[in-house]
Amino acid sequence: MNKKAWNLMGWGLLFAIAVSWIGFGYSSWFLLLLPLAHLSFSVRDGSIKKLGKLSSSHWLQLSFALAIAVAVVFGLILLANFLILDLLHMTGWSKTVIQVVAIILALYPAKFLYARVVHKAFDDVKMEKS
């Protein structure tokens, strides 16, 4: 399949997720469809081929970094929940807005941590190749 077909498939999956979320609310199927959309975009730009070139030490490093990133996000969300509910005693719509903002802010340190490890692993593969 060519690049346009993979791109169209990825955007189609994202559009289907958005329409069904608006129409029917959240579904656990989104946990499957979103990675499939990401996979189709990865096949389109050729980054899926790079995964086969990673060594076992790189895979171990990526797995460990993912576990650390998830632990960081989980810890930050628990800390934000403690601050919002127990320390500040927030209620109502302000609590909901602050919780959403806290979750978004908690994702950024993990994103930067994991992205740095991924880029380092792919840079190592480029160095070994040349």
pLDDT of the chain along its 130 residues, tens only?
688 888 899 899 999 988 888 888 777 777 778 778 878 887 887 777 777 777 888 889 888 988 898 899 899 999 999 999 999 998 888 988 898 899 889 888 888 888 898 888 888 877 776 6
Amino acid 84: pLDDT: 92
Amino acid 129: pLDDT: 66
Amino acid 80: pLDDT: 92
Q: Where do the DSSP E strands lie in the chain?
A: none
Q: What is the DSSP letter of 26?
A: -
Amino acid 130: pLDDT: 63
- Measured in degrees and rounded to the nearest 5, phi and psi for residue 98 equal -65, -35
How far apart CA 93 and CA 95 sit, in angstroms, is 5
Angle at 118 between CA 70 and CA 113, to 5 degrees: 45
CA distances from 47 to 43, 93, 95, 98, 111 (A): 6, 42, 40, 36, 18
Of 119, 100, 112, 124, the residue nearest 69 (C-alpha): 112
- H or E element, residue 30: helix 30-45
Amino acid 3: pLDDT: 81
